[in-house]
Amino acid sequence: MNARIICAAIAAISGLAVPVCAPAQSFPTKPVRILIGQSPGGATDLFARLIAQKLNETWKQPVVVESRPGAAGSIAAELTWKSPPDGYTMLLSTAGQVVLNPHLTKLAYDPLKDLSPIAYVTGQPLLLVTHPSVPAKSVKELVALAKARAGRLNHGSGGTGSPAHLAMELFKSMTGTKMTHVPFKGVGPSITALIAGEIDVSFASPSATLAFIRSQRLRALAISTAHRSPTLPDTPTVAEAGVPGYQVTSWYGLFGPAGMPSEIVDRIHDDVVRVIALPDARARIAAEGGEPGNMTVAQFAAFTRADSAQWAKVIRTAGIKGE
């Protein structure tokens, strides 16, 4: 039944002149903040500011983005968890903060229990890229090379337990290959090393690699998601290139503290889904290799649980420990 009809019915029964759902209808009545666990300038900051700008226009209230980097994003997540569950403090989280960190380090909170999923904002593929000197021009050739040179190919990432690292661990597990992981202090240094030929292969975001692929300083072998990217339509998915069932999405989602009223969650969710579907917002998200999300709140909650379970298995099998 429509929420407004329910509110009106409750109001009629109770004799109230104003529906009990009025707080959701009038939300927000003061400034809202969106926390991010990364430094300004990256993709998380870009998406947070895009959402903040659009919600500001919709709500006629200031929506500010606050960067609280540190502890792999856990500082911002913990601040969100400890905030009142009223919708005025939210977290724009990466997948790592919600579904990776709990399996890599001891946290004071459980993201799946202590945060309220609100909206799946966007999903991005990772690209499987090599240095041009690597004698493999397809996924099948890379697998054959890795098996012939067991342990001698190096794959880089922005750090132990990062999405790029775990994407490759899943790849190695599904292909029966052995490669040596080389962690760097951030995505930038790992891409620099790959371009220089100091490492052989990596998974990395389109925004970090597209310019180098187009200038032929890197070679794209495949894309990690279930479907090809409009940005690189000729690049096959890992699954169709020879690893059936492989699928990895680097995603961003909006969360609040646990215990938020469902009416507030639904109001924010509906407004976020609407604003990220606007043409200019879609274009900015597409420029980062993503597309706007359209999951319901329930679907997003189920998705995070399934994603967490998948990565728990990968981390456990590979014996990965957080830095």
Residues 141-166 pLDDT 10s: 999 999 999 999 999 998 898 899 99
pLDDT, mean of residues 128-132: 97
CATH code for the part of the protein at 29-124+249-318: 3.40.190.150
Q: Is the pLDDT of residue 231 over 80?
A: yes
Task: Give ranges for CATH 3.40.190.150 in the chain.
Answer: 29-124+249-318
Residue intervals of the chain classified under CATH 3.40.190.10 are 127-223
For residues 155 and 144, give the distance between their C-alpha atoms in angstroms, rounded to a whole number. Answer: 15
pLDDT in tens, 182-202: 999 888 899 999 999 999 999
Fold of 127-223: D-Maltodextrin-Binding Protein; domain 2 (3.40.190)
Average pLDDT, integer, range 81-93: 97
Q: Is 124 left (phi over 0), alpha (psi -120 to 50) or beta?
A: beta
Of 297, 250, 246, which is closest to residue 98 (Cα–Cα)? 250
Tally of CB atoms within 10 A around 27: 20
Torsion of CA 300, 301, 305, 310, to 10 degrees: 0
Q: What share of the chain is helix, strand, coil (3-state, %, to 5)?
A: 45, 20, 35
CA distances to 24, 166, 168 from 173, rounded to whole Å, are: 47, 10, 8
For residues 263-292, give the mean pLDDT. 93
For tokens 């200038």, name the residue.
215
Neighbour order of strands in the sheet with 115-124: 63-67, 32-36, 89-94, 250-257, 115-124, 291-292
- Sheet containing 127-130: order of strands: 180-183, 154-157, 201-204, 127-130, 219-223
- The DSSP-derived string for 107-168 is -SS-HHHHEEEEEEEEEE--EEEE-TTSS-SSHHHHHHHHHHTTTTSEEEESSTTSHHHHHH
User: How high is the pLDDT of residue 64?
Assistant: 97
| pLDDT given at position 13 | 45
Locate tokens 């905030």: which residue? 83
- pTM of the predicted structure, to 2 decimals: 0.84
Give the count of beta carbons closer than 10 Å to the beta carbon of residue 39: 13
pLDDT at 221: 98
Which has more confidence, 25 or 280?
280
Residue 10's pLDDT band, with cuts at 50, 70 and 90, is: very low
CB 87 within 8 A of CB 81: no
Q: For residues 79 and 257, what is the distance between their CA atoms, to the nearest angstrom?
A: 9
Average pLDDT score, the chain: 90
pLDDT at 323 over 80: no
Residues sharing a CB contact under 8 Å with residue 226, sequence separation 6 or more, in sequence order: 237, 239, 247
Nearest to 237 by CA among 229, 52, 275: 229
